[in-house]
Amino acid sequence: MSRWLVAPQEFKGTLTAAEAATALAEGLRQGAPGVELDVAPLADGGPGTVDALLAGLGGERVTCTVQGPLGTPVRAAYGLLDSGRTAVIEMAAASGLSLLTQSERAPLRTSTSGTGELMREALDRGCERLIIGLGGSATNDGGTGALAALGFRFLDTHGVPLPPGGAALKRLARVDASGRHPRLSQVELLVATDVTAPLLGPDGASRLFGPQKGADASAVAELESALARLAEVVSPEVAQTPGAGAAGGFGYGLAALAGGKIVSGYELVARTLRLSERLAAAEAVLTGEGRFDRQTALGKGPGSLAREARALGRRSVMFAGMVAPDAETGGSLFDEVVTVSALAPPGVSYAEALRHAGIWWASRQK
């Protein structure tokens, strides 16, 4: 019996990776009922990482009430894997842009406190490894809100704790780590992101990502200055680390103050799901994402899976919501690219379009 690996990434803003995998697999089963499907949703550390790992490995979902980006209570979930030894936390669940309306976006004031509360809950539970997925953030506070929830104190010249938000960091004088959570130094802390931005500069947290979080030119300059002060007080060297600028500098805060190791989110998920082993057992891999662009065509994210498939002599197919113009100029590792949106009539959801794409593509293989 033929075996296909079905491993799409999220269709941003529309379907999580798990939802996309379910929709695609449903259509494939109808179009090719004799084929065995191995379903493994992909993620890169951003939204959908918890769902992808729980779908691929099984585990438990824990839901807590924590502070949202502006301090109002939100319900946020994280995942427990390995019989509770590993916690997978998406910062977007507690501190994400999706939790705010357009008019509520306020990167000078938003805080990562809620993510820190999820981390504290996992530490109190006895988890030995924390995977923190960075992506989809509403924040630009260098991770200080989360670290404050874990017992760090960010103090001004008078020894008074700073209020939440990135803007306040311009008054930072010192960091008191004496009250930090006692188990923080005992766990493996992996900071998962595929953003390679440093903390500061034109490609850094504030200037590159601040505008999409609601920062105008004045706010961007203020946030850049505030994060520069944080780096000056804590560690100028870590500020240059690729990924330090992820999630408004959250990568920096966890690496510089909490012993976090910044890793590729995609590679971490792929390794955890044993994708290499599962790909070797399949004849083809069917992946997908909302926007297929040059980076994927050259090997980022699902493109990395396609590169591995080519090395093994396996076929790779990309199901894309849309194909960006630069994808074609970048070349492609994929044997076939299927544009899902081109198959669907107006008003049809991505999920329904994926089901139809799966049926159409699988039927054509007979």
Residue 329, pLDDT score: 64
Task: Compute the average pLDDT of residues 189-205.
Answer: 96
Element (H, E) at 148: helix 144-149
Residue 57 in this model has a pLDDT that exceeds 80:
yes
Number of domains comprising the chain: 2
Domain end point (choices 247, 266, 285): 266
Is the same domain home to 14 and 65? Answer: no
Over pLDDT 90: what percentage of the chain?
A: 78
Is the same domain home to 156 and 305? Answer: no
Residue 331, pLDDT score: 66
Task: Compute the average pLDDT of residues 312-320.
Answer: 95
Task: Note if the pTM is more than 0.75.
Answer: yes
Domain end point (choices 227, 248, 266): 266
- Give the domain CATH number at 143: 3.90.1510.10
Task: Compute the average pLDDT of residues 265-271.
Answer: 91
Q: Say how far apart CA 146 and CA 142 lie, in whole Å.
A: 9
* Amino acid at residue number 30: Q
Residue 43 in this model has a pLDDT that exceeds 80:
yes
Residue 193 in this model has a pLDDT that exceeds 90:
yes
Q: Indicate the average pLDDT of the chain.
A: 94
pLDDT, tens digit, 9 for 90 and up, residues 200-256 = 999 999 999 999 999 999 999 999 999 999 999 999 999 999 999 999 999 999 999
Domain end point (choices 266, 300, 331): 266
Residue 366, pLDDT score: 67
Q: Residue 72 sits in which domain range?
A: 49-266
Residue 297, pLDDT score: 85
- Give the domain CATH number at 338: 3.40.50.10350
Q: Say how far apart CA 93 and CA 112 lie, in whole Å.
A: 10
The angle, 0 to 180 degrees and rounded to 10, between the axes of the packed helices 265-272 and 49-57 is 10
Residue 348, pLDDT score: 85
